Amino acid sequence: MRQNKAKKLPQYLAGISVCMGAMAAGTVLGWTGNISKELELGALNDITIDEADVGWVGSISNLGGLLVCFPIGIICDFIGRKNATLLLTAPFLLGWILILFAQNLAMILAGRFIVGMAGGAFCVAAPLYTSEIAEKEIRGTLGSFFQLFVTCGIMLSYILGYAVSVKVFTIVMTAIPIIFCVSFAFQPETPIYRLKQKDEKEARYSLKRLRGSNYDPSHEIQELNAVLDELKNNNVKISDSLKKRSTKIAAIVSFSLMFFQQAGGVNAVIFYTSDIFTDSGSSLDPKEATMIVGAIQIIATFISSLVIDKLGRRILLLTSSLFMAVGLLILGAFFSLKLRGLADAETLETLGLLPIVGLCVFIIAFSLGFGPIPWMIASELFPSEIKSVASSIAGTLNWLMAFLITKFYGDMSASLGGDVTFYIFAGICLIGIVFVFFVVPETKDKTLAQIQRELNKETLGGIDNCGFQDKK
């Protein structure tokens, strides 16, 4: 006897397996975190590099991510979400092998650029896949798995960079994409993609794989086909979709959230965590401090995955932005006291824990909201005919901002002062609060079709924003 109650476990397993690739992306971000000094001393194949070179080694992966975000959206539409994601194993392996056997700085930079391409592509492909396989009740949780596994990858990099040689560290990095490929190869393609290809038989197979063998997918297939037929009947080409109200709102929300995520300074804070601890005068080993921050980020992101489908996206974004600003203001205040001679050495020693508190508040707040949600909400808001391309553009903006902030944070800090830099980041977070309150809609417990209907009908702004109420 068929039933319509879907199992959640297969969806969780599919989400976890695709996010193993997100862990691989996290290792790209965290690779230089605890080995910068070792790289300068030639720990990787006796290649000695200076501090400026280390900065490029750390940031060039962002350029790789920026370059590939747009093409991966097209590839996802051409060969499917699953195949496109599996394809990313190749650049991961190529990049890490180049780094592992590097004979000069150019090979290291080339390898970092290529693994950055793979990591950037995952930032588009993985959220796209999870948004199309999940039921509305757990779509937020599955979507937040992406950021959770990224933080796990960052943490793994911190631990290995502290515990083993650079060579062994890089060998382990090479193995992670292989583990992803093996685990994800057995998962189904998304039902939406199958239906877009007019393959209802495979769409049914995907839904039964994802919802359980006793699940009757007929009603869900009918709903998805209705959405796709509506798009087809309305002659919705990409050029036409750009004129739709829902697309315009989705673009404003998604691109702005990507901007606020990076312009709030998260990559600068993470990449320069050890320097922040050192400059604060803390006696804690900077490498150990980096691992503590990584652990805090994992815990906070995991908590976010548990509550995102209960509390909703908006409340988490508002809370996240507020406390990110608080953490940055704490950091700014301490460095104002220290750098501008506003407090004596004894007072600074008494306040030594202040920057650590500010850093932890910032990381926790970011991980609860602005870490996972911007990636997820882009895949929720855009209509399906433009989702891949639009998500790619959003990802490109994110990686561009990440590169600019990471590369020039040191210059900003040197010219303006570390305290002023933190105040600027805090100001951007406060502006983000206003933006989220007045513009960002709520998508909790809503199907993708319902989100499109609401974005096309409701007034943007104030209490008429669909973040505050639903159409009845």
Closest by CA position to 34, among listed 173, 166, 158: 158
pLDDT at 401: 86
Q: With contact defined as beta carbons under 8 Å apart, do 108 and 57 qualify?
A: yes
Band the pLDDT of 99: cuts 50, 70, 90: very high
Report the C-alpha gap between 323 and 444 in whole angstroms.
22
In a domain, 15, yes or no: yes
Band the pLDDT of 135: cuts 50, 70, 90: confident
Report the CATH number that the domain containing residue 60 is assigned in CATH.
1.20.1250.20
In a domain, 194, yes or no: no
What single DSSP character describes residue 368?
I
Is the confidence at residue 143, as pLDDT, over 70? Answer: yes
Q: Are residues 155 and 273 in the same domain?
A: no
**Average pLDDT value over all residues in the chain:** 83
Q: With contact defined as beta carbons under 8 Å apart, do 125 and 65 qualify?
A: no
In a domain, 47, yes or no: yes
What single DSSP character describes residue 462?
G
pLDDT at 233: 65
Is the confidence at residue 257, as pLDDT, over 50? Answer: yes
Q: Which has more confidence, 294 or 457?
A: 294
In a domain, 120, yes or no: yes
Q: Are residues 303 and 422 in the same domain?
A: yes
Angle between helices 373-381 and 384-416 (to 10 degrees): 150
In a domain, 221, yes or no: no
Band the pLDDT of 268: cuts 50, 70, 90: confident
Q: Are residues 156 and 274 in the same domain?
A: no
pLDDT tens for residues 308-340? 778 888 999 999 999 999 999 998 888 888 878
Percentage of residues of the chain with pLDDT beyond 90: 30
- In one letter, which amino acid is 11? Q
Is the confidence at residue 82, as pLDDT, over 90? Answer: yes
pLDDT at 106: 94
Q: With contact defined as beta carbons under 8 Å apart, do 4 and 125 qualify?
A: no
Highest-scoring range by mean pLDDT, 256-270, 333-347, 411-425: 256-270
Percentage of residues of the chain with pLDDT beyond 70: 90
Band the pLDDT of 277: cuts 50, 70, 90: confident
Q: With contact defined as beta carbons under 8 Å apart, do 209 and 190 qualify?
A: no
In a domain, 197, yes or no: no
In a domain, 165, yes or no: yes
In a domain, 226, yes or no: no
Q: Are residues 247 and 379 in the same domain?
A: yes
Report the C-alpha gap between 256 and 263 in whole angstroms.
10
pLDDT at 241: 64
Residue 24: give the domain boundaries. 7-187
Q: Are residues 29 and 103 in the same domain?
A: yes
Is the confidence at residue 217, as pLDDT, over 90? Answer: no
- In one letter, which amino acid is 23? M
Report the C-alpha gap between 113 and 122 in whole angstroms.
14
Band the pLDDT of 271: cuts 50, 70, 90: low
Q: Are residues 177 and 238 in the same domain?
A: no
Q: Are residues 174 and 301 in the same domain?
A: no
pLDDT tens for residues 6-64? 888 899 999 999 989 999 999 998 888 788 888 888 999 999 888 778 878 888 888 88
Q: Are residues 133 and 63 in the same domain?
A: yes
Average pLDDT over residues 436-464: 72
Band the pLDDT of 365: cuts 50, 70, 90: very high
Within 8 A by CB and 6+ apart from 199, the residues are none
pLDDT at 419: 83
Q: Are residues 286 and 158 in the same domain?
A: no
Q: How many structural domains does the chain have?
A: 2
CA 431 and chain centroid, separation? 21
pLDDT at 314: 92
**Residue matched to tokens 């062994």:** 168
Q: Which two tokens stand for residue 190?
A: 């998304």
Domain boundary among 153, 187, 221: 187
Q: With contact defined as beta carbons under 8 Å apart, do 202 and 190 qualify?
A: no
Q: Are residues 289 and 174 in the same domain?
A: no
Task: Say whether 305 sits in a helix, a strand or coil.
Answer: helix
Q: With contact defined as beta carbons under 8 Å apart, do 423 and 332 qualify?
A: yes
- In one letter, which amino acid is 183? S
Q: Which has more confidence, 439 or 247?
A: 439
Is the confidence at residue 349, as pLDDT, over 60? Answer: yes
Q: Are residues 149 and 297 in the same domain?
A: no
pLDDT tens for residues 388-417? 778 778 888 888 888 888 777 777 777 787
Q: Are residues 289 and 140 in the same domain?
A: no
Across 40-64, b (16+ Cβ under 10 Å) vs e yields: eeebbbebebeeebbbebbbbbbbb
Closest by CA position to 174, among listed 100, 259, 74: 100
